[in-house]
A and B are shown apart, each in its own frame.
Chain A
């Protein structure tokens, strides 16, 4: 482990903003990504770090108006235990349950998953499928970015060096359903090979507002828009499922890497989608 950079631990968001405005700091929330990256020397050693853990402004899960709002420091354990999340965002609870194991879930945060911007971040497809928006802030004020715009390129975010992720807002949509499925190499402590979230609203026997989001199949978490079009306005019948699975296979452009192969990712994604549609269609 290389030499440790100095760490500032502000106790209010105002202090944190001021520190960030004065000099570049690498934020550290749970540290479950950034510590590993520093130890493995896959990230440059930061000159200064900013410990977010005491910023209570970034905690809490609540319903505000017609949205479920989660502070950036919300841990996976908190998500799993939250009655509000169980009621309004069960897919997020399912995703949280697949992340790492107990220690990581106690320490890893939703904001960290978002800011880390890994294509394999397990909550990110859920956020995409649920049309989440992400609120960032700095001394200059707050701004809201749609999840769909948050991961423009491999491990990139629109965050400026002085900005923090403050919270995530999930619009509450009456009648919306979301399914989630993660495919990893083992049953715990596994980075996804394919991860999928599928959201829709049933309307007169057909699906509307279909969102199909995937991770680990592209340089960023993505929406499979061609497949969404197949499902939009359709019912989850077998012919639709066959067609959607075939379109998804054609739409995805994954790569071979150390975790899996492109061929596997395409086939597994298509078959998992087919399965979800079969389960929803009840055939």
Chain B
């Protein structure tokens, strides 16, 4: 790993007192060094097996809960029938009628029921209809088999292109699209498709609900967003804020998959627990988890691009359709991010982007690392690579001629005033991967290839951008709060709802605060993610934790330090214990304030869609087996501008993990459907890359800081997911000469192109 640093933001990041733990600074980090990179906080417990995940937690007297689901994609529910020969006294059954509050999973719109009511509409194959609980799992299994749904089938819709139910749509652009095409020497068109993919966190979804003595409910589980679950719980159980408590257990991965689904599962567990007055455990097995929980939105993206002979892109006309599945969930927000990113990181004068997210009778799709941007940018980069081929210009050179630079204007009319590193990541990745030299070599190999060749090597490049934090005015509306506290006992504590799910929140937050206060890393504690203890710092999504919440705690720490130093007249590190003893505890709450000069208009959908963008470039090398279409991704160089690196090892880990996830999404991961049901809903059939499939990954961290955040960080989690797939598919093209327009570029699709037989159907559509 290498890090290059640009001049920092106006606000200084260095604390006055030297600290054993500090942020890496310009030029400090060389390959292999992990300076300023303390061990992860929860690492020892995870390594020694003492970390407690939800399923490890023991609640005496707890019952087991299960979900009865529909088995049809679209139907009217006429009744739920119990087998009269079964002893129902040993189980509890909860149906829609038993819900004390509103029968809705509280999210953007109120369309998704917690349980389908009798008389209501079943809209997908995995839809919850009733809940059961029993003291042991055998009884539970048997009881579940004794419930029958009486239904009247309705016609399902599986093709998003024919769906008439639209969850959201956008129409945005700039310039004069007709004039743009008139000025073009060449017009290239293409349609690209992406199917469902599964997050495949290691730990399945899990929730345990425990009734409280005050009549409320405490839910502990695997989740990303404690306050999303809190909101859903209050509404479904008709509880006030204090009597609904949500606690995050150690969480084994999320990738967006634990953004919205945990709300539904928590409410299910809570309904059962409330009914029987005992704790109820709902721990999904892998089969149920894959079958029922959210996937990446399938996308169909059509591009028409006008370009001059000199390689200047002058017009982009893009239409993007997302399949939202049966309910709205977060689809409008996923769609807006996809739409804004659809043109790619290119400054094009004339742009028109239309988009819509529609309903189909398949399980709802939701958040997954990248949140719509990977699908949109796969299409954008495929298109740019095809334009380069059509013009006979190197893909690297074509990008140089079109990328955003400072002062560039995006399709929402956002002026990119600072922190634009498109060129830097492009040049760094191309140089490290020796893109042009290897491209010449693969071209020679291609020209000399005979029928006897068994394999072919290729290289491909893709560039991407990723808006940092929430889209538009989301952050302003959310008004997140995070706090730093000096307790009366002299402990320094961070209070934030941001969750640790493997990415490093619990490590970087203490780093940032220790750095600001000038105290050792180990002197800073982090409070548990428990809604009765920590304020609502917003969800742990959108790569916003390091940038937004990290910024809040730095500011809170800065105020705490100023107060203490004012009272004691000495540096914080030397005086805070004394201060606590003398004046008791001090807590600083920091509420999000809009970044200076950042404005977005929701009505016209124009303005600063994001406070800043992260930039990434990936160069992939592949070897394709020409007999079987199998792809071995040999290496990926990924250069990622994250604003400011807080913890180089963790940041590099995000780039490596995201790149590998992108390689799987590019080459093998594909959910297949029949009658609206996922067919490969087991680990046996939903395959992701293994260690031996992983390429060599070279992560290059670039720092183009964002001045609005006190530390300059822009986030790293999602960025690498945007560029890996188009780079791999470009490399497959370089090797074989065929363009695979649909993801994954599976051996089935590649061999169909090489062999001349009928390719498999499009991804994401149910047979």
**Given A267-B757, A275-B454, are A259 and B685 also a contact pair (CB < 8 Å)?**
yes
* Interface membership of B309, Cβ < 8 A: no
Q: Is the CB of A185 within 8 A of B627?
A: no
Query: How many chain-A residues does the 8 Å CB contact rule pick out?
Result: 29
Query: How many chain-B residues does the 8 Å CB contact rule pick out?
Result: 31
CA distance A44 to B692 in the complex (A): 35
Write the B618-661 contact mask toward A (1 if CB under 8 angstroms, else 0): 00000000011110100000000000000000000000000000
* Interface membership of B476, Cβ < 8 A: no
Which residue of A is nearest B671, CB measured? A258
* Interface membership of B452, Cβ < 8 A: yes
How many whole Å from A270's CB to the nearest CB in chain B? Answer: 9
How many whole Å from A217's CB to the nearest CB in chain B? Answer: 14
Pick the most buried of A187, A188, A191, A258: most chain B CB atoms within 10 A of its CB.
Answer: A258
Q: Is the CB of A260 within 8 A of B680?
A: no
* Interface membership of B687, Cβ < 8 A: yes
Q: Is the CB of A185 within 8 A of B687?
A: yes
Q: Is the CB of B668 within 8 A of A183?
A: no
* Interface membership of B689, Cβ < 8 A: yes
* Interface membership of B15, Cβ < 8 A: no
How many whole Å from A190's CB to the nearest CB in chain B? Answer: 7
Q: Which of B630, B632, B691, B760 contacts A183 (CB 8 A)?
A: B630
Q: Which of A186, A193, A259 contacts B689 (CB 8 A)?
A: A186
Q: Which of B672, B687, B751, B757 contacts A190 (CB 8 A)?
A: B687
CA distance A263 to B761 in the complex (A): 12
Q: Is the CB of B684 within 8 A of A268?
A: no
Q: Which of A186, A193, A283 contacts B452 (CB 8 A)?
A: A283
Write the A222-245 contact mask toward B (1 if CB under 8 angstroms, else 0): 000000000000000000000000
Write the B659-675 contact mask toward A (1 if CB under 8 angstroms, else 0): 00000000010001000
* Interface membership of A174, Cβ < 8 A: no
CA distance A193 to B684 in the complex (A): 13
CA distance A187 to B628 in the complex (A): 13
Q: Is the CB of A187 within 8 A of B758?
A: no
Which residue of A is nearest B138, CB measured? A3
Q: Is the CB of A272 within 8 A of B748?
A: no
Q: Which of A186, A258, A264 contacts B668 (CB 8 A)?
A: A186
Write the A129-156 contact mask toward B (1 if CB under 8 angstroms, else 0): 0000000000000000000000000000
* Interface membership of B168, Cβ < 8 A: no
CA distance A261 to B679 in the complex (A): 14
Q: Is the CB of A272 within 8 A of B687?
A: no
Residues of chain B contacted by A188 (CB below 8 angstroms): 690-693
* Interface membership of A271, Cβ < 8 A: yes
Q: Which of B459-496 contact A (CB under 8 A)?
A: none
Q: Which of A189, A261, A275 contacts B760 (CB 8 A)?
A: A261
**Given A2-B141, A183-B628, are A264 and B748 also a contact pair (CB < 8 Å)?**
yes
**Given A271-B755, A272-B627, are A185 and B679 also a contact pair (CB < 8 Å)?**
no
Residues of chain A contacted by B627 (CB below 8 angstroms): 268, 271-272, 274-275
How many whole Å from A176's CB to the nearest CB in chain B? Answer: 24
Q: Which of B278-314 contact A (CB under 8 A)?
A: 287
Residues of chain A contacted by B599 (CB below 8 angstroms): none
Q: Is the CB of B141 within 8 A of A267?
A: no
* Interface membership of A36, Cβ < 8 A: yes
CA distance A101 to B684 in the complex (A): 13
* Interface membership of B591, Cβ < 8 A: no
Pick the most buried of A36, A190, A264, A268: most chain B CB atoms within 10 A of its CB.
Answer: A264
Residues of chain B contacted by A261 (CB below 8 angstroms): 748, 760
Q: Is the CB of A186 within 8 A of B687?
A: yes
Which residue of B is nearest A263, CB measured? B757
Residues of chain A contacted by B147 (CB below 8 angstroms): none
How many whole Å from A151's CB to the nearest CB in chain B? Answer: 21
Q: Which of B138, B632, B751, B758 contacts A268 (CB 8 A)?
A: B751
Q: Is the CB of A268 within 8 A of B629?
A: yes
How many whole Å from B752's CB to the nearest CB in chain A? Answer: 7
Partner-B contacts on A (CB < 8 A): 2-3, 36, 40, 101, 183, 185-191, 193-194, 258-261, 263-264, 267-268, 271-272, 274-275, 278, 283
7 A/B residue pairs, CB under 8 Å, sorted by A:
A183-B630, A186-B692, A258-B672, A258-B680, A263-B757, A272-B627, A283-B452
